[in-house]
Amino acid sequence: MRVLVAGSGGREHALCWAIAASPLCDALFCAPGNAGIAEVATLVPIKATDIEALIGFCRTGRIDFVVVGPEAPLVAGLVDRLEAAGIAAFGPSAAASALEGSKGFTKDFCARHDIPTAAYQRFTDMGAAKSYIQTQGAPIVVKADGLAAGKGVVVAQTIEEALAAVDTVGGGELVVEAFLDGEEASFFALADGKHAIQLPSAQDHKRAFDGDTGPNTGGMGAYSPAPCVTPEIAAEVMARIINPTVAGMAAEGRPFKGILYAGLMLTASGPQLIEYNVRLGDPEAQVLMVRLASDLLPALLAARDGQLGDFDLRWHDETALCVVLAAKGYPGEPLKGTEIKGLEAAAASDPAIQIFHAGTRSKEGRILADGGRVLGITATGPDAATAQRKAYAAIDLIDWKEGFCRRDIGWRAVK
């Protein structure tokens, strides 16, 4: 098969790395890709949101199957347009992608289908949102309704912070919801419109700095499995959240095919849904792909074809841990164009190390930073402490003074 992956981040590098290992894959392309992806796929200089150009390339490049990585082209209907053009694609339709494209839609959907989530109100009037916040008190959560690259959420500890968040993330529509107390976890399922297969759990680290301090980011590191997601909790999540979502979306004429990513809060009263994403997480994709023992490509094809009913995936028992190296300035304006050295030495330091690129580009044989989150140093080990030690040992071999990382990724599992 000739396969195209759409996207350019760490998630797409992990997907390309896994797909390239499939015996079914004869040729692999990535649009637009990055410097690391270039090692396993042919880069195509087309943005993942340029739907017309992607369709044109699929025709001239005789592409058999497209795997869409990021949320923006999914919400924009890339999968619908590809399928309409006769090109098989993995990922949800625009209608199904509303689970990520609109937080308000998801909250209303949960209410219709009795899926546990925080109490909420939707607002287009920012004054009304502020009045509601003053009535409810703090802590309270303020969310932009649409896509915000993981940064449109403010968990406000004071009323003043919440009122300021309305001005910061508002402008269109807002969701204001009750604060949930507990431990966060990422839960993934592969769905084919009728069935869903549970994938391993993971735990992300959203705050920019050690000790879970600083601004929210797209994710500064992750590990899998997450010890807090016990088999009993996983069964409850499938029964009360994932399966009702797949059934509800089908009943509403929006059958969901793709990766269903539930951001969970594990509360004293059980798991509750914080939000849905409609694709693999980043950096969760990195830790999941290095743990995958099965061939990824047949699973993606089965999901697209509605054939997951009797499908099974196998996973390595090891713990995987990914530390994100970001450019200074992130999650604000990152410093771009700086050279990163020592990557070969870091990659060769241990067979358990895999370096996934996110915001990089190659220029005259040099690797340059070209984004906010730049690299995902991923390690495996028999436990979280070993994987953590290996990842940071590799990071210490990388020469990039303009980058930074958290030094406590995986602290919950290690503790």
**Tens digit of each residue's pLDDT (9 = 90 or more) over 202-227:** 999 999 999 999 988 989 999 999 99
pLDDT of residue 366: 97
Contact 280, 274 (CB under 8 A): no
Q: What is the pLDDT of residues 249-294, one digit of tens each?
A: 999 999 999 999 999 999 999 999 999 999 999 999 999 999 999 9
- How many other C-beta atoms are found inside a 10 Å radius of the C-beta of residue 65? 22
Residues 174-200 have a mean pLDDT of 96
Residue percentage of the chain with pLDDT more than 70: 99
pLDDT of residue 168: 85
Mean pLDDT of the chain: 96
Report domain extents, the chain: 2-91, 119-178, 183-305, 319-414
Torsion of CA 321, 324, 325, 329, to 10 degrees: -150
Classify strands 2-7 and 27-32 as parallel, antiparallel or unpaired. Answer: parallel
- Rounded CA gap, 139 and 117, in Å? 16
- How many other C-beta atoms are found inside a 10 Å radius of the C-beta of residue 294? 14
Q: What is the pLDDT of residues 332-390, one digit of tens each?
A: 999 999 999 999 999 999 999 999 999 999 999 999 999 999 999 999 999 999 999 99
Q: Kindly report whether the global pTM for this prediction surpasses the value 0.85.
A: yes
pLDDT of residue 296: 98
Q: What is the pLDDT of residues 18-47, one digit of tens each?
A: 999 999 999 999 999 999 999 999 999 999
Residues 286-312 have a mean pLDDT of 97
Residues 106-132 have a mean pLDDT of 95
Q: In this structure, what token pair is assigned to residue 274?
A: 């914080």
- Rounded CA gap, 3 and 18, in Å? 12
At the topology level of CATH, where does 2-91 sit? Rossmann fold (3.40.50)
Decide if pLDDT at 149 tops 70: no
What is the pLDDT confidence band of residue 150, given thresholds at 50, 70 and 90? Answer: low
Nearest to 76 by CA among 25, 147, 127: 147
Superfamily of the domain at 319-414: Phosphoribosylglycinamide synthetase, C-terminal domain (3.90.600.10)
pLDDT of residue 170: 64
Count CA atoms within 13 Å of residue 186 on its CB side.
28
- Rounded CA gap, 39 and 17, in Å? 9
Please tell me whether residue 147 adopts helix, strand or coil conformation: coil
Contact 304, 88 (CB under 8 A): yes
Cis peptide before 200 (omega within 30 of 0): no
Decide if pLDDT at 152 tops 90: no
What is the pLDDT confidence band of residue 151, given thresholds at 50, 70 and 90? Answer: low
- Phi, then psi, of 188 in degrees rounded to 5: -120, 145
Tell me which amino acid residue 371 is: G
pLDDT of residue 205: 94
- Looking at 3.40.50.2300, 3.20.20.140, 3.40.190.10, 3.30.1490.20, the CATH number of the domain 119-178 comes to 3.30.1490.20
Q: In this structure, what token pair is assigned to residue 94?
A: 């625009």
Decide if pLDDT at 94 tops 60: yes
For 28, 158, 203, the CA distances from 164, given in Å and listed in that order, are 46, 10, 29
Taking each helix axis from N to C end, the angle separating 243-251 and 103-113, rounded to the nearest 10 degrees, works out to 100
Please tell me whether residue 298 adopts helix, strand or coil conformation: helix
What is the pLDDT confidence band of residue 188, given thresholds at 50, 70 and 90? Answer: very high
What is the pLDDT confidence band of residue 196, given thresholds at 50, 70 and 90? Answer: very high
Q: What is the pLDDT of residues 352-363, one digit of tens each?
A: 999 999 999 999
The length of the chain in residues reads: 415
Decide if pLDDT at 148 tops 80: no
pLDDT of residue 237: 98
Decide if pLDDT at 198 tops 70: yes
Superfamily of the domain at 183-305: ATP-grasp fold, B domain (3.30.470.20)
pLDDT of residue 303: 98
List 88's β-bridge partners, or say none: 65
Is the CA virtual torsion 255, 222, 263, 136 positive or negative?
A: negative
Decide if pLDDT at 146 tops 90: no
